[in-house]
Structure 1
């Protein structure tokens, strides 16, 4: 019987993720013919078809699903062994999944944490929290950036080998642009302005319709602002950069993460008696499959200020 190769297993895992041979070939930077040959070799080695083929589509059958569950940890262990042996000389393809907001928050720290590995590349994969954790479970990423709330909602559905690195809290703040009416008379060097709720509610807001973290549709409650009654939301967008543009132009107020407020030199609006809202951010990774480079990255992120 033919033996299985790690190279063919990698092709198989890519084909299992992608809808067609062409898509798998594009991901792997090879030809569709090379993907097809690798899959035939693998099916010959295991002695069974792994896909049901419908036109150009590849659909995993029972044998394929069984092999996929075994292949992912095998490939992860092989990758871990190679990286541990080669150390900083290894060509690491670091893949981190999470909501775009959290990837933005930690992008610079992740890049700095990989400075010790000059041959490394960093792929930031935007995905809402549940999708990011699912990608980690499938082996499609090395780690996921999520909030504590996302983990709490999973309850006991949590692999024993998964570990969490706490990355601090992300506070939400009401923000105004420097040209907004609430900023009139405020010194240019000021970081915030105190206001009453009545003052704030005289102005329009910009808000997403879906949570920027979990992707759930929440309408007027999507940004997490407490006490939405009486608020006029004129501008709606699930793109945080567009929300920031409305605020920077002075057109609207928005409830945004503190790091985004600082990064765009916005004015924090401190509302009397407002309930403080913050999210605890975590890096989730599989301790049973993590190489030394990922452990080093997690440790570096733990001490990196945000």
Structure 2
């Protein structure tokens, strides 16, 4: 039994067909099939139920898959820890695009001590990201506390949740929006990040743009998707855009207001084409706690260091 055959086996186990697995592994289907037969010969056990069109894990294969993942993780841990900062490793992160955007620079800084490391950021909704973590396709998932509390569709006793701080949503407008030009004329506020005071009556007189799906979990929620409380302050949502970049372009054009995360205006997400509006008589604020989920079992030193570097103390959130 060798690590290459175990890697091929684990890949085939999570792919819909041997052909798809072969493409991912950059091997021929014949080479993949020979590796599986070799592994089964080493174990003296059949791992798959074979049909003309597909392979499916049998009970022995399911048990072996857990062993294979553990052995591959241990091999990666040993390689990374022995090589130290010169390790050629892969930091694979999955999560909603909005959270990847928020934390991409933090991942870069946290992995700076490993110059040979690759950082892969893959956009997935939260449950998909946890499923990818469970399959071993990624080693980190970005999710919100709502998913943690519900434990989503996937959870493992080996996983650890590291808090990354709170994400607060704010009402934003483009610099050319009438509310911005009027408020600047009256209030004379300097600085592109300073809030402009408006009333709810002023805000609700204009069109809004909103995603129809949650930017975090991907569920179809209509006017509940962005956290604004339409039961308290009903808006006119004229534009429905699920693509974050297209949504932002609509806001920056001055044609609509949006309720978006505060990091769009700060830090790595700094965008001078937008301005924060503070609704003086608004009684609510939507916030999301963000977490890094990773597998602590057999974790290499770099993974533990990454989580420690990104962690935000609870009192700081």
Shared fold (TM-score, shorter chain, > 0.5) = yes
Residue of structure 2 equivalent to 1:271? 279
Task: Return 5+ residue gaps in structure 1 as ranges.
Answer: none
Residue of structure 2 equivalent to 1:195? 198
Evaluate the alpha carbon distance shift between residue 188 and residue 243 of structure 1 in structure 2; reply closer, same or farther with a 3 A threshold: farther
Q: Is this contact kept in 1: 2:130–2:155, CA < 8 A? A: no
Q: Is this contact kept in 2: 1:21–1:56, CA < 8 A? A: no
> Which deviations, in whole Å up to 9, do the C-alpha atoms of 1:67-99 show, x marking residues without a partner?
112211121111111111111121101111111
In 2, the alpha carbon distance for the partners of 1:93 and 1:87 equals 14
Residue 237 of structure 1 pairs with residue 241 of structure 2: yes
| 1:12 CA displacement | 0.8
Q: CA RMSD in A?
A: 2.3
Residue of structure 2 equivalent to 1:184? 181
Q: Give runs of aligned pairs for residues 245-256 of structure 1, distance below 5 A.
A: 245-256=249-260
Residue of structure 2 equivalent to 1:114? 111
> Which deviations, in whole Å up to 9, do the C-alpha atoms of 1:18-60 show, x marking residues without a partner?
1222321222222322212211111222223323344443322
Evaluate the alpha carbon distance shift between residue 273 and residue 54 of structure 1 in structure 2; reply closer, same or farther with a 3 A threshold: farther
Q: Is this contact kept in 1: 2:223–2:230, CA < 8 A? A: no
1:12 paired residue among 9, 13, 21: 9
Aligned residue pair count: 303
| 1:295 CA displacement | 1.0
Q: Give runs of aligned pairs for residues 122-201 of structure 1, distance below 5 A.
A: 122-154=119-151, 158-185=155-182, 186=184, 189-191=191-193, 192-201=195-204
Residue of structure 2 equivalent to 1:85? 82
2:309 paired residue among 289, 293, 300: 300
Q: Is this contact kept in 2: 1:190–1:267, CA < 8 A? A: yes
Residue 290 of structure 1 pairs with residue 294 of structure 2: no
Residue of structure 1 equivalent to 2:215? 212
Residue of structure 2 equivalent to 1:227? 230
Residue of structure 1 equivalent to 2:41? 44
Task: Return 5+ residue gaps in structure 2 as ranges.
Answer: none
In 1, the alpha carbon distance for the partners of 2:2 and 2:281 equals 63
In 2, the alpha carbon distance for the partners of 1:182 and 1:269 equals 9
